Amino acid sequence: MKAGEVEKAASILSKAAERQSGGPVKQFFNSYMVVMEQYAKCGDVHNTEKWFHRMKQCGYTGHLRPFQILIQAYLKEKTPAYGLRKNEG
């Protein structure tokens, strides 16, 4: 998936989540994961972190997979994972 396609999918998901009860809801877990994975494949750490934080705000705190995807983004971009420590809490 190309970067522009990921942006479009992320925008649609964001709008759909906000329409549900006035804010993001837990129904979109798999969709959030797909968007995060696509950003990670592109090496886009900024947007991967952004979606990681959105997932935390929705209450997806006990899942290991979002952390793994975030690490993949850091590895792909060959950037030190300094932000990972602050994402733990």
User: For 48, how many CA atoms within 13 A lie in the half-sphere containing its CB?
Assistant: 27
> Tokens 């979109």 — which residue?
28
Instruction: Provide the pLDDT for residue 23.
Output: 54
The rounded mean pLDDT for the chain is 82
pLDDT at position 19 is 74
Average pLDDT, 10 consecutive residues per value, the chain (89 residues): 80 80 67 92 92 85 88 90 63
Contacts 24+ apart (CB under 8 A), 48-54: 48/73, 49/73, 49/83, 49/87, 51/10, 52/87, 53/87, 54/24
Rounded to a whole number of angstroms, the distance between the first and last alpha carbons of the chain is 31
